[in-house]
Amino acid sequence: MKAMNKTLLAVAVAASTAIGGAALAGPVSDDKVKIGVLADMGGVYADICGPGCVTAIEMAVEDFGGTVLGMPIEVVSADDQLKPDVGSAKVRQWVESEQVDAVGGLVSSAVVGAATKVLTDNKKIALISTAASNAFTTSACSPYNVHWTYNVAAMANGTVKPIVQSGKKKWFFITADYAFGHALEGVATEVIVENGGEVVGGVRAPLGTTDFSSYVLQAQASGADVVALANAGGDTVNALKTAAEFGLTQTADVAGLLVFTPNAQAMDPATAGGMTLTTGFYWDYDDATRAWSTRFKERHGAIPAMGHAGAYSMTMHYLKAIEAAGTDESDAVMAKMKEMKPDDFFARNATLRADGRMVHDMYYVQIKTAEERRDADDIFKVLDVIPGDTAYAPMLPECNFVKS
């Protein structure tokens, strides 16, 4: 009898512990929501996301109140060094050992490709603010990918199409030699051909190239009407500087297919003034963008690039979805993110599609000349607003994760 009583007591204690554990676990795993920020913190892309994306995501957490469903929100960050193996290893450590629920930032498309595989395998959410490749909602789409700020399709449709239609038919590419550059060149080529133009040549330059002289000379010899820079960050700045030094800007248009405000600020307005491009955000667009950007500059020391604004906007949407879902469980949160309409200073006329692509207004802008600028932050003149349905490619049927 005593043995039976001990057995019954053990079962009762075990049941009580299980019930108590479930109650303590609550709707938020590990009693907190933890967001990782993975980005290039010191390389050629540091200015377009990097520490600025950490600042933007921290601002979103603070503006949300610092807690969700009664639990604290924590932000951690790491430098991916622009290396896919480094980035994926850090993400694996975060989600498997450090209870990270979602990862934001995510800049280099090669790194993001490796990181999102780890996140999908672990059913964790990728909050992609700054990667350009459209693969994350097409060939590498995932029910856990959210691609917010822009992609190569939006850049090509916004920038390339009007230039070809203006009569500049012959194009030459100087392309960053990795996934992002290849994707941008490929989509831009489709737009060129569809609108009656042709690609007369191209070269591929390693990420972080400082000497673009040989590439510029090949572009010059091609006789192209337009030399397209299918790169970003410091690569774009260095390529344009070399193009000006060799006189290429006097004989052909140079089109930056992905230019961020820090890059535009770094360019000589005598060379870059008049260049047109597409962006997902401009700090000086209206009162709402100016108000947030002023706060960001006070914290970060510089005006925001579109990746910074996108990181803030996406983080706020993620936290609102957790609140609406009543849990931080990824499938429930993703369902709420896609159900709820994004609407803030960044996301205009926006929809988060079933494939994870956030479709929103884009802006066709022109870099101002020195004479047009009132100060160092007065960079762009907004020429046109491009509706999201025009800028972004349609969703692929196989990436409709909520079609059932």
Write down the pLDDT at residue 368. 96
**Phi and psi dihedrals of 230, rounded to 5?**
-90, 60
pLDDT digits (tens, 9 = 90+) for 255-294: 999 999 999 999 999 989 999 999 999 999 999 999 999 9
Let me know: does 269 contact 373? Beta carbons within 8 Å.
yes
Position 34 confidence tier, pLDDT thresholds 50, 70, 90: very high
Dist. CA 276–CA 70, nearest whole Å = 47
pLDDT of residue 72: 98
- Side-chain-side CA neighbours of residue 106 (13 Å): 35
Indicate if the pLDDT at residue 6 is higher than 50: no
Q: What is the pLDDT of residue 8?
A: 36
Which pLDDT score, from 0 to 100, does residue 26 have? 63
Mean pLDDT of 198-215: 96
| Amino acid code (one letter) for 402 | V
Domain 153-279: CATH architecture, name and number where available:
3-Layer(aba) Sandwich (3.40)
> What pLDDT digit, counting tens, does each position of 323-338 carry?
999 999 999 999 999 9
C-alpha–C-alpha distance, residues 321 and 328, integer Å: 9
Dist CA 282 CA 237 (whole Å): 19
For the entire predicted model, the pTM comes to: 0.90
Q: To the nearest whole percent, how much of the chain has pLDDT over 70?
A: 93
User: Do the bridges between strand 362-367 and strand 276-279 make them parallel or antiparallel, or are there none, so unpaired?
Assistant: antiparallel
Is the separation of the CB atoms in 220 and 55 below 8 Å? no
Encoded tokens for 271:
């060379």
Alpha carbon distance 195, 300 (integer Å): 41
pLDDT exceeds 90 at position 308: yes
What residue spans in the chain does CATH classification 3.40.50.2300 cover?
30-150+284-360, 153-279
Out of 3.40.50.2300, 3.90.550.10, 3.40.718.10, 3.30.360.10, the CATH code matching 30-150+284-360 is 3.40.50.2300
